[in-house]
Amino acid sequence: MLLLAATVLALAAAFATALTGPEVVAVFPSSSSSLKGGTISLPRFDLSIISNGTHALYVANASSTSPTSVGWLGVGHGTAMGDADFLLAWPTVSGSSVNWTLSHRLPNSNALGGHAMPVLASSSAGTSTSTFYTLVPALTTSDSSSPFSSVAFTRLVDPGSTYPTAQGVTNAPLGSGTLDLIYASSSRNPGTPNEGQATFSQHNQPTGVTSLDMSAAYAVAANATSTPPPQTQQAPPPTALGGLAFAIIVPLAILTARFGRERFAWLPPHAALQLLAASMVITTFALAVSQTGNLFADLHQRLGLVLFLLVVLQLLLGYLAHFTLPSALTSCSPSLSRPRPSFARAIHILLGLTILALGWVQIHTGIKKGGEWYRATLGMEEVPRAVRGVFWTLVGLFVLAYVGEWVAAIRRGMRGGKKVAANGEALPLHEAGEGGRKRSRRT
Ligand SMILES: *[C@@H]1O[C@H](CO)[C@@H](O)[C@H](O)[C@H]1NC(C)=O
Ligand SMILES: *[C@@H]1O[C@H](CO)[C@@H](O)[C@H](O)[C@H]1NC(C)=O
Ligand SMILES: *[C@@H]1O[C@H](CO)[C@@H](O)[C@H](O)[C@H]1NC(C)=O
Ligand SMILES: CC(=O)N[C@H]1CO[C@H](CO)[C@@H](O)[C@@H]1O
């Protein structure tokens, strides 16, 4: 199972293509040996930032999207929408040619906490976008039939004191250490090359927070080799479906089985609840993968994959276990008396509890402060404390109920000890059946 997960992870990892030597030389003719920076693979485009100490080159390459399908590409220096210094770029296609617009933007300070369109940093002659940012035509896609869309521009590492900024926004100079970045993109084009008139639809493609080490020597792609995928921290879909499954549905289903053992036909409700939970988990996983673009880059995303695989395995195991006979340990008052529990039943129970615990860890990494939810919203939203409180209360209640029923069952088992010894089964199993299916066992 772990091997399978590892294989899927390896296949899913995206590789970023670094710029080639000639591409770099087109911008930095003299200093290719002392260049710093890197290339990272984001869900919808590769981003390269390369510095020679005074100048920095940015290349955003949507390597499998044609210019006619690019809405806009955005990069910000910072850790959240509220503190980033943005540069948005978008293509304007006319016939077979493409022109690109660059637009320097700052957070919208009037926004009431929501996702607001970043505002134009300045439209004055001496401080407009073109004062600080220069398009690099040699590395920018100009043919509308191109299978990829690359836009490149340069700026000064330290743009100086006239560079427009705003309170709380990340400092303008690039520095030489770790560069915090946020990114977003959209398939909807602003529809005008005029940055002053452009309005942007909200990003409808993966967004997230990442970083780039600007102290590393830039390794050009010598012979079409790839650089390993970077550590990007990418956002999950804003869905609570998976959380609901592990906080409420799965615990209910487990408790149904645990409490139902000696009391009622527990299998139909148990199976129905677990099928519901499994479909919620699978839906969440599918949504997450499509929205984050397959990165599997942080704990939450990797755990999501592991959970998805384990849940599918667990469904199969549960189905198989149904065809094995119940035993004293797994089906009635827990006791180690004979017959031995069936392997499938024991594993189904242990794996079920393990999945539930992992599900809780997954919820925790999603809703904790600065967790996946925070990243998904580019730092705009934290999960309210009350939600975390409700979640941990539910966890506590489940543990109490589950352990309590085990203890109670053991005590009931001790009282009925003679009966256990007599027939090896604590209670008539066909009465405590799994839902109409009568089973008997030769003694
Ligand atoms: C960095 O590159 C730019 C553009 O090629 C060039 O003008 C500048 O002199 C270079 N700076 C250094 C320190 O080499
Ligand atoms: C952009 O990506 C495409 C496809 O991988 C590649 O052929 C092209 O050379 C890249 N362009 C730049 C400037 O990186
Ligand atoms: C693209 O840029 C060229 C050169 O600046 C200009 O002649 C052309 O009209 C522009 N096309 C569009 C669609 O803006
Ligand atoms: C096939 C090919 O492009 N080979 C090149 C690999 O890179 C070295 C130097 O970096 C060139 O000399 C080769 O021609």
Q: Residue of the nearest CA to atom 6 in ligand 2?
A: 63
> Which residues' Cβ are closer than 6 Å to ligand 3?
92, 94, 99, 193
Beta carbons within 8 Å of 286's beta carbon, 6+ residues apart: none
Backbone angles phi, psi at 437, to 5 degrees: -75, 110
Q: What DSSP state is assigned to residue 120? A: E
What pLDDT digit, counting tens, does each position of 50-105 carry? 999 899 999 999 988 999 999 999 999 998 888 899 999 999 999 999 999 999 99
pLDDT level of residue 221 (50, 70, 90 thresholds): confident
Residue 443's pLDDT is: 36
Average pLDDT for residues 188-197, to the nearest whole number? 89
Instruction: Collapse the DSSP code of 342 into the 3-class scheme (helix H, G, I; strand E, B; otherwise coil) and give the result.
Output: coil
Q: Which string of DSSP letters, residue by residue, matches 91-113?
A: EEEETTEEEEEEEEEE--TTS-S
Residue 12 reports pLDDT greater than 50: no
Residue 5 reports pLDDT greater than 50: no
How far does the centroid of ligand 4 lie from the alpha carbon of residue 222, in Å?
6
* Nearest listed ligand to the Cα of residue 223: 4
Average pLDDT for residues 397-405, to the nearest whole number? 94
Beta carbons within 8 Å of 330's beta carbon, 6+ residues apart: 341, 342, 345, 346, 349
Share of the chain above pLDDT 90, in %: 41
| C-alpha gyration radius of the chain | 29
Average pLDDT for residues 342-351, to the nearest whole number? 87
Backbone angles phi, psi at 149, to 5 degrees: -130, 110
How far does the centroid of ligand 3 lie from the alpha carbon of residue 101, in Å?
11
How far does the centroid of ligand 3 lie from the alpha carbon of residue 342, in Å?
74
The CATH number of the domain covering residues in 241-423: 1.20.120.1770
Task: Characterize the bridge pairing of strands 119-120 and 85-94.
Answer: unpaired
What is the token pair recorded at 436? 């109409």
pLDDT level of residue 294 (50, 70, 90 thresholds): low
Domain 17-228 - what CATH class? mainly beta
Pocket test residue of 28, 57, 63 for ligand 2, highest count of atoms within 8 A of CB: 63
Strand-by-strand arrangement of the 97-106 sheet: 119-120, 97-106, 85-94, 72-77, 178-186, 208-213, 233-234
Q: Residue of the nearest CA to atom 3 in ligand 2?
A: 63
Domain boundaries, the chain: 17-228, 241-423
How far does the centroid of ligand 3 lie from the alpha carbon of residue 94, in Å?
8
Average pLDDT for residues 406-426, to the nearest whole number? 58
- 320/400 Cα distance (integer angstroms): 29
pLDDT level of residue 148 (50, 70, 90 thresholds): very high
Instruction: Collapse the DSSP code of 16 into the 3-class scheme (helix H, G, I; strand E, B; otherwise coil) and give the result.
Output: strand
Residue 100's pLDDT is: 96
Residue 108 reports pLDDT greater than 70: yes
Q: 195 with 101: CB under 8 angstroms? A: yes
* Nearest listed ligand to the Cα of residue 221: 4
How far does the centroid of ligand 4 lie from the alpha carbon of residue 362, in Å?
46
> Which residues' Cβ are closer than 6 Å to ligand 2?
17, 19, 23, 59, 61, 63, 139, 148, 150
Residue 151 reports pLDDT greater than 90: yes
How far does the centroid of ligand 2 lie from the alpha carbon of residue 282, in Å?
34
Residue 418's pLDDT is: 39
SS3 content of the chain, % helix, strand, coil (to 5): 40, 20, 40
Give the ligand 3 atom nearest the CA of 94.
Answer: 13
Least confident of 101-105, 110-114, 307-311, 331-335: 331-335
E strand segments, 215-356: 233-234
Instruction: Collapse the DSSP code of 212 into the 3-class scheme (helix H, G, I; strand E, B; otherwise coil) and give the result.
Output: strand
How far does the centroid of ligand 3 lie from the alpha carbon of residue 152, in Å?
17
- 149/140 Cα distance (integer angstroms): 8
